[in-house]
Chains A and B, each alone.
Chain A
């Protein structure tokens, strides 16, 4: 049981970090970022390139992932989403654009990094063995702790910095924020860059454990959507709750349902259906946010 909980916590921390980026972008611009999984894969490959090919320390790779993805995110917002949001009359157009960007990033990843599965050497050796109740490699613990640390930094940033306050104001009411003197364009761009950066950071963290390959983008996006639906879209606490809940459900499901093969996600989805029938906006979302 302790082992399951530890696995769930570890998974949940990763998931929450992915969902945070997605929900941030959604709350600021009302854009469902289909390319989030691809950004995650891109971040993983950047870390791989820096660590495994250039031979630099892991922390440099993580930093490079964050910077590269933040730049990509800012460019995407500035040159793609902003004009489309301004011109189109239907909000769905941005969804189409996001899907196009997902394909585009897939193509770029394929051309730059190839289609092979990549991984970096273990950053830490050894296994924690607590009386055979919890067995967990040290590198996993480190990654889990790093992820939780980043979540805390992110919350503090959103809560207390000027930028964070401006973004929260934007998410609450765009027009009112603008009237109070918040520069909408600037903070939308920062928000998108921040969301992309979070995706890149998770990619950089996970490349040390699961490795990374081109096909991981789509499924990651889907998991992120699941978490957002559980927690409620556009709400930071919801994304964190959704991430940890999904992580726990996956960890428990994989253990209990191991005998039946891969039906864990079927069960999770069925549960989600029932849950959504009762509470369509998720745990903490505003109705039709």
Chain B
């Protein structure tokens, strides 16, 4: 790890943890917290999608795991009464386990076939949450309490969000810290032995299998890590919106997760983060155009694909400026 990377990481940390809250407090635009928190959480889910891209699979099913994670967290908090902070890893683990079950058959598919089956999975998860008795159907689960205090041996690690003067800031910081952790994990994975093996899968699966890489095992591992990310993003989303419906994450969201990865650039670990930021903010900024919002947004999207088929980070300036990619 060279000095440039360390400096770049530190600058990034200072900006998201100190400069942005300060700027928001100065300007009084408190609504930005919600936008930025959403960006942070969506980029966690996109990071998962990116990891499946990394093994050469097009994943359009992340919405399913985000939805499942959200419901697991909501049910554990409201019906079982577990502390919310514990439900985040539990939701992630539930999604990882589920994805092993689903992934074992479908990860044998490739290319467009895998893309199609994952897309269908999103829709099926929505139908499942509509049909299952525990998810309360179309009414969803509402009025979920704010995260409680988390303490070990009487030592308060995270204070109760309900008593806080400014829960928006707290949510923002939680989401950003979670995002940083996830991207750190992702970065470590990519630069580890596992990452190199995954790259070999992306390039030529038969060849890597022929030299002794356990491709079936690797695929499932990568897919379950990806779904873990989706699950924790969904769980955290539930805490912020304090409600979850079958329509909270649907096909459009799954497609958006994929678009985020594409847009940021599939060759870069931090691509999905940038892609999410650009897409989400782009959508928000276009809000002022009223009924033409979707038209302008999709036109820009198509133009961007026509001109930059390899993602924003493939532009020359980013390659020099962004030391972490």
**Interface residues, chain A, CB within 8 Å of chain B?**
26, 30, 32, 34, 80, 83-84, 87-93, 95-97, 99-104, 106-108, 110-111, 218-219, 222, 225-226, 228-229, 233, 260-263, 265-266, 269, 272-274, 276-277, 280-281, 288
Do A277 and B108 touch (CB < 8 A)?
yes
Complex contacts, B105 vs chain A, CB 8 Å: 273-274, 276-277
Flag whether B298 is at the interface (Cβ < 8 A).
yes
Other than A218-B250, A233-B113, give 12 A-B pairs with Cβ distance below 8 A. A32-B115, A34-B255, A84-B305, A96-B259, A104-B301, A106-B294, A106-B298, A222-B123, A225-B116, A266-B124, A272-B120, A276-B109
Do B262 and A89 touch (CB < 8 A)?
no
Do A280 and B298 touch (CB < 8 A)?
no
- Interface extent on B, as a size class? 35 or more
Q: What distance in Å separates the Cβ of B279 from its nearest Cβ neighbour in chain A? A: 11
Q: What distance in Å separates the Cβ of A195 from its nearest Cβ neighbour in chain B? A: 15
Complex contacts, A26 vs chain B, CB 8 Å: 112
Q: Can you list 16 A-B contacts (CB < 8 A)? A: A84-B306, A99-B259, A106-B294, A107-B292, A107-B295, A107-B298, A225-B116, A265-B123, A269-B120, A269-B121, A272-B117, A273-B102, A273-B105, A277-B108, A280-B108, A288-B110
Contact among B131, B299, B306 with A83 in the assembled complex (CB-CB below 8 Å): B306
Q: Which B85-115 residues sit within 8 Å CB-CB of chain A? A: 102, 104-106, 108-113, 115
Contact among B110, B255, B298, B309 with A87 in the assembled complex (CB-CB below 8 Å): B309
Flag whether B58 is at the interface (Cβ < 8 A).
yes
Given contacts A100-B302, A103-B294, A218-B251, contact A276 B115 (CB under 8 A): no
Flag whether B119 is at the interface (Cβ < 8 A).
yes
Q: What distance in Å separates the Cβ of B62 from its nearest Cβ neighbour in chain A? A: 14
Q: What distance in Å separates the Cβ of B103 from its nearest Cβ neighbour in chain A? A: 10
Flag whether B24 is at the interface (Cβ < 8 A).
no
Q: What distance in Å separates the Cβ of A245 from its nearest Cβ neighbour in chain B? A: 15
Q: What distance in Å separates the Cβ of B286 from its nearest Cβ neighbour in chain A? A: 11
Do B116 and A280 touch (CB < 8 A)?
no
Complex contacts, A93 vs chain B, CB 8 Å: 262, 305, 309
Q: Give complex CA distance A273, B124 in Å.
A: 12
Flag whether B291 is at the interface (Cβ < 8 A).
yes
Q: Give complex CA distance A107, B120 in Å.
A: 23
Complex contacts, B291 vs chain A, CB 8 Å: 110-111
Contact among A106, A107, A228 with B116 in the assembled complex (CB-CB below 8 Å): A228
Flag whether B127 is at the interface (Cβ < 8 A).
yes
Secondary structure of the A contact surface, majority rule: helix
**Interface residues, chain B, CB within 8 Å of chain A?**
53, 58, 102, 104-106, 108-113, 115-117, 119-121, 123-124, 127-128, 130-131, 250-252, 255, 258-259, 262, 266, 291-292, 294-295, 297-299, 301-302, 305-306, 309-310
Complex contacts, B123 vs chain A, CB 8 Å: 219, 222, 265
Output the nearest chain B residue to A79 by Cβ-Cβ distance: B306
Given contacts A84-B306, A276-B106, contact A91 B298 (CB under 8 A): no
Do A104 and B116 touch (CB < 8 A)?
no
Complex contacts, B262 vs chain A, CB 8 Å: 92-93, 96
Q: What distance in Å separates the Cβ of A105 from its nearest Cβ neighbour in chain B? A: 8
Complex contacts, B58 vs chain A, CB 8 Å: 92, 95
Q: What distance in Å separates the Cβ of B309 from its nearest Cβ neighbour in chain A? A: 4
Please give me the 5 A-B residue pairs with the lowest Cβ-Cβ distance, nearest first. Answer: A277-B105, A103-B298, A107-B294, A88-B309, A104-B298
Q: Give complex CA distance A87, B266 in Å.
A: 16
Complex contacts, B305 vs chain A, CB 8 Å: 84, 93, 96-97, 100
Complex contacts, A280 vs chain B, CB 8 Å: 108-109, 113
Q: What distance in Å separates the Cβ of B252 from its nearest Cβ neighbour in chain A? A: 7
Output the nearest chain B residue to A274 by Cβ-Cβ distance: B105
Complex contacts, B302 vs chain A, CB 8 Å: 80, 97, 100-101, 104
Do B120 and A222 touch (CB < 8 A)?
yes
Complex contacts, A34 vs chain B, CB 8 Å: 255
Do A261 and B131 touch (CB < 8 A)?
yes
Complex contacts, A91 vs chain B, CB 8 Å: 111
Q: What distance in Å separates the Cβ of B17 from its nearest Cβ neighbour in chain A? A: 32
Output the nearest chain A residue to B112 by Cβ-Cβ distance: A32
Complex contacts, B121 vs chain A, CB 8 Å: 269
Given contacts A103-B294, A229-B120, A262-B131, contact A84 B309 (CB under 8 A): yes
